[in-house]
Structure 1
Amino acid sequence: MKKKIYQSFVELSGNRFNSYLLKAFTKSKMSKLLNKSFVKVYNIDEAEMEKTLDEYESLQELFIRNLKSEARLIDQDPNSIISPVDGILADVGEINDNCTFHVKNQDYSLIEMLGNEKRAEKYKNGTYIILYLSPSHYHRIHTPVSGTVVGKWALGNKSYPVNEMGLKLGKRPLSKNFRFITEVRLRNTKHYALVKVGAMNVNSIHPTFTGNEVQKGEEMGYFSFGSTVVLLFENNAIALGDYIETPMDVKVGMKIGSF
């Protein structure tokens, strides 16, 4: 029962008004009373937290927590591509000639996801990777590979659930929800797009990176509610590890592929 209540707090919301009420509550000092049971319900490792549990003054502070610097090791292979988040690697596959891919019985158009045909065309026959973050996960987003930021833009104005049920029954949430996209040029001159997808009717995506040159493992932003990351890579830009399967648990810094 507790888990269902918490899931309603951080994943599901039927309308914008309810979302704002939820956001206000989770940021209030009153919500601190839920922190201990939240950690217990979701089996969160307190030893990894940057601060002690008592130091988090609200459920929101706990949810967007930082980790101790040694809690996540970034793969040091210069050719590696790492997971940008703690989460579930839910799906991976090839983007087809029409710049679309298929997830949970739905077709996703990159033109719709990225905002225009020119941006989408770049990723034709490339690779997509979908990573889902549940309430139990660390919600900071890191960069999977070093490169030069060549574009940032936001699309969409509201969001619906992107959990298992939301992907199956929602109206293409990965390409219709509010999303913040960062495009990066790799050292081999190819590109990847980091698509951060909101999961609530309020803006739950908070960019933190402001520079141009980004290093593998560097923080890019965080989600204030559960959400999803979509990685898009150009054709022949990367090779996934032969150990990758779906679904599988991943953590920030874990090698998932290489140049």
Structure 2
Amino acid sequence: MKKAIYQSLIELSGNRFNSYLLKNFTKSKVSKYINKSFVKTYNINEAEMEKPLHQYGSLQELFVRNLKEGARSIDETPNSIVSPVDGILADIGKINENSAFHVKDQDYSLVEMLGNKKRAEKYNEGIYIILYLSPSHYHRIHTPFSGTVVGKWAMGNKSYPVNELGLRLGKRPLSRNYRLITEVRLSNDKHYSVVKVGALNVNSIHPTFKGDSLKKGEELGYFSFGSTVVLLFEKDTLQIDPSVKAPMDVLVGMKIGSL
């Protein structure tokens, strides 16, 4: 019961008014008094937190926490592509020749997801990876591989839950929810995109990177509420590591494939 209540505070619903009220509660000083219970309920590792638990002034401060330096190691194998988040690698597969892919009984169009036919066609027959972040996870987003940012844009204006149930029963949330897309060019002129999908009517995606040249493992931004990341890779760009099988738990910096 307690976990269900906390889940509603983080993932919320498609109701804009409820989302607004809940967001304001999680940012309030009053919400600080449930931090200890929240940590216990979700088995969050306090030893990894940048600050002691009592120093987080609200539930949202706890939710967007940084980790201690060295809490995550970035795989340094040449050409390794790493997980950009702590979370669950929920699905992985091939994008078809029509710029679409199928997940949780739903078809997703990249034209709809990315908002542009030319952008979408670039990823024909490439690879998609879906990473879901639950309330227990560290919610900062990092770079899967070094490269140059060649595009940043936003899509959508309304968001629904993107948890397991939301992906299965929602109205294509990955291509309809509010989302921020970062497209990166690799040294071989191939591209990948990091699609950050919000799960709340009030904007819950906060970019922190402001430059053009990205280093593997560098922070891109953070989610302040429930969230999902979709990685898109061009054809013949990514070779999935043999140990990667969906669904599985991943951590920031963990190798998931190679160029």
Letter paired with 1:232: L
Please list the CA deviations of residues 172-231 of structure 1 after superposition, one character each: whole Å capped at 9, or x if unmatched. Answer: 000000000000001111000000000011111000000000000000000000100000
Map of 1:180 onto structure 2: 180
Q: Give CA-to-partner distance per residue, 1:80-104, whole Å, 9 cap, x none.
A: 0000000000000000010000000
Q: Which 5+ residue runs of structure 2 have no aligned equivalent? A: none
How many angstroms apart in 1 are the aligned matches of 2:202 and 2:14?
11
Residue of structure 1 equivalent to 2:111? 111
Contiguous gaps of at least 5 residues in structure 1: none
CA distance in 2, matches of 1:66, 1:162: 23
Q: Secondary structure at the match of 1:72?
A: coil
Alignment RMSD: 0.5
Deviations 1:221-244 (A, max 9, x none): 000001000000000001000111
**1:166 is aligned with what amino acid?**
G
**What does residue 167 of structure 1 align with?**
167
Q: TM-score, normalised by structure 2?
A: 0.99
Q: CA deviation at 1:13?
A: 1.8
C-alpha distance in structure 2 between counterparts of 1:164 and 1:147, whole Å:
31
| Match status 1:149 vs 2:156 | no
Matched position secondary structure for 1:12: coil
- 2:148, 2:213 within 8 Å by CA — same for their partners in 1? yes
CA distance, structure 1, for counterparts of residue 78 and residue 219 of structure 2: 18
The within-5 A match list for 1:174-213 is: 174-213=174-213
Specify the code of the residue in structure 2 equivalent to 1:97. E
Q: Name the residue aligned to 1:245.
A: 245
User: 1:137 and 1:78 mapped to 2: Cα distance?
Assistant: 27
Could you give the per-residue CA deviations for residues 77-131 of structure 1, whole angstroms, max 9, x where no partner exists? 1210000000000000000010000000000000000001000000000000000
Match of residue 28 from structure 1:
28
Partner of 2:7, secondary structure, is: helix
> 2:14 & 2:255 partners in 1: Cα distance?
37
Counterpart in 2 of 1:126?
A: 126
Q: Runs of 4 or more off by more than 4 Å in structure 1?
A: none
2:182–2:193 Cα contact (<8 Å) kept:
yes
The amino acid that maps onto 1:255 is: K
Cross-structure match for 1:62:
62
SS of 1:89 mapped into structure 2: strand
User: How does the TM-score come out when normalised to structure 1?
Assistant: 0.99
The count of aligned residue pairs is 259
Matched letter for residue 181 of structure 1: I
Match of 1:45 in 2: 45
Q: Give the superposition deviation at 1:14.
A: 3.6
Q: Distance in 2 between matches of 1:4 and 1:179?
A: 25
Corresponding position of 2:228? 228
Amino acid at match of 1:56: Y
Identity, % of aligned pairs? Answer: 76
